[in-house]
Amino acid sequence: MFKVDLRPANLAVGSRKIHYGWVIVALASTMGCITSSVRFAAAALVPYLRDSASGFGWSYGAISLGFSLQWFVLGVVSPYIGSLGDRYGVRRLLYLGAFLFIAGMLLTGIMTSLWQFYLFFGVMLGIATTIFSILLITGVTLWFRKHLGVAMGAVGSFQGMGTIGFLFLIAVAFDLLGMKWIFWIPGIVGGALILLLIKFFYNEPADVGLRPLGAPEGEPINRPQKDELAKIRARVFLQQAQRTSTFWNLIGIHFWGCMGHNIINVLLVAIAVDRGLSLGVAAGVLATQQVTGVFARGAVPIIADRVGSKIVWVVGMSLQALPLLIILFVHDAWAFYLFAFLFGIGQGSEVPTFPIANRQYFGNVPQGSLYGWQNIGNGLGMGLAPVVAGFLWDITGTYAVPLSMALGFSLMALISALLLPSSSRNLIPNWEESLPLEARSPASL
């Protein structure tokens, strides 16, 4: 008889055993798909929020500030979220993120003034999406010693699918449902699904009596240290990592790369409409960028796992920078679609590579604390660039200014990638020697 064993430690379909880490990947991919979509796809609503006939009539700069607030929040709270995840586990914070996500989506759907846009969309959803973007990535990392690239590729690509789904909802149903239900449908349905899935998301393999996938069979199954010991481990690791130029350069790649591509994420539809394309065509351009990004985010971590993170970033940042010249000088629809395809590959190469780079450069370390620090660059870059670009567009009256800024920032990210060392060796392999014995991992003793 065909049997299915659903116990996490013995998960099997028939005679085929399945490591529960792949279930964690599926859970993280689904939750990331739901929560990440609002950050990017809501940019399709910029022309609507700009139009005075809609009842809003806000300036590009004012609208961009709302998107930027989400990223400023990311930059400010990421180190704390990552540290709390290392100390107390992922699951508790995911519940907090779920409730904030539901509340933020419901309130954004009925906003009527600019301050509400800033508070509900910028701050509340900013904290919620930060919790999921940091802890889902670092949570998955704990489950894999091998095949981390495949796992990260799945999580990254599904996040892009959420953006495409939100864009499809806007394109198909916005005129029929209005803005309230555009936010309420994913907020209510998606939020309820997230609350259900968190129940099955375990903090680490030891919680269910497993080792990480790819760990040696003889390795003891011990839970990572929590509370004070985890705090000591994170502090000692960060002290040593911060002495390397690579630690700071990785933050720089996140900062410059995000400065370059978030101008496009927020303003691409508005730029295309300003150049005479219809809103439908402009939304199609943004969708093309996001669809391409789905495939890029799925493939890039696997490639980085094999050829190294530095190579992936050099190629990716080149593709983020150079295609901007296309729409800077050519205004036809085909040029925007070609740009969206190339740029989607370039942008899609940046963020999913970080967990792979962290493992390659630093090894099995407190991932939440490390990734949290790197997301300071992510949050500040994603936050600063579009609001500055939006206000400069208002002042100068030309889209060429934000496009030129995106080009300059992307070139800085390319330079940062070129300055990285080879990712073939661990930069601080003996960092645990600075820890007291009780705080060291079994593998280091």
Taken in order of first residue, the domains within the chain and their CATH numbers are 16-207+224-439 (1.20.1250.20)
Total residue count of the chain as it appears in this document: 445
Spatial separation of the C-alpha atoms in residues 43 and 337, rounded to whole Å: 17
As a dihedral over the C-alpha atoms of residue 307, residue 311, residue 312, residue 315, rounded to 10 degrees, the angle is: -140
One-character DSSP codes across 198-222 = HTT--SSGGGGT-PPBT--TTS---
Burial of 31 (0-12, 13-18, 19+ CB in 10 A): buried
Q: How far apart are CA 317 and CA 276, in angstroms?
A: 29
CB 183 within 8 A of CB 112: no
Rounded CA-CA distance 41/318 in Å is 24
- The rounded distance, in Å, linking the Cα atoms of 371 and 253 is 13
Neighbours of 427 (CB within 10 A): 18
- Kind and range of the H or E element at 5? strand 4-5
With H, G, I as helix, E, B as strand and everything else as coil, classify residue 144.
strand
Q: Are strands 16-17 and 4-5 parallel, antiparallel or unpaired?
A: unpaired
- Residue 226 pLDDT: 60
pLDDT of 445 reads: 56
Cα–Cα distance measured from residue 377 to residue 354, given in angstroms and rounded to the nearest whole number: 12
Helix (H, G, I), strand (E, B) or coil at 168: helix
Pairwise CA distance, residues 330 & 262, whole Å: 21
Which residues, 6+ apart, have CB-to-CB distance to 328 below 8 Å?
400, 403, 404, 407
For tokens 């954004």, name the residue.
Answer: 108
Dist CA 323 CA 367 (whole Å) = 33
Q: Find the farthest-apart pair of alpha carbons in the chain and give their distance in angstroms, rounded.
A: 72
- Using CA atoms, how far apart are residues 342 and 323, in angstroms rounded to an integer? 6
Identify whether the C-beta of residue 237 lies closer than 8 Å to the C-beta of residue 365.
yes
**Which residue from 237, 241, 240 is spatially nearest to 249, judged by alpha carbons?**
241
The interaxial angle of helices 245-274 and 279-307, nearest 10 deg, is 160
Burial 160-199 (b: 16+ CB within 10 A, else e): bbbbbbbbebbbeebeeeebebbbbbbbeebbebbeebbe
* CA separation for the pair 51, 55 (Å, rounded): 8
Q: What is the rounded distance in angstroms from the CA atom of residue 53 to the CA atom of residue 57?
A: 7
Closest by CA position to 246, among listed 360, 117, 407: 360
pLDDT digit string, tens, across residues 46-87: 888 888 877 888 887 788 788 888 888 988 899 889 888 888
SS3 content of the chain, % helix, strand, coil (to 5): 80, 0, 20
In the chain the first and final C-alpha atoms are separated, in Å, by: 46
Which regions of the chain are under pLDDT 70?
1-2, 222-227, 442-445
pLDDT of residue 30: 95
CA dist 351 and 354 (Å) reads: 6
Rounded Cα distance between 358 and 371, Å, is 8
Cα 319 to its chain centre, rounded Å, is 19
| Cβ atoms 328, 407 nearer than 8 A | yes
- Reference 282, options 237, 247, 333; nearest CA is 333
Q: What is the pLDDT of residue 225?
A: 55
The whole-angstrom separation of Cα 410 and Cα 198 is: 36
Contact 43, 262 (CB under 8 A): no
Contacts with 413 (C-beta within 8 Å, 6 or more apart), sequence order: 252, 253, 256, 257, 259, 260, 313, 317, 320, 321, 350
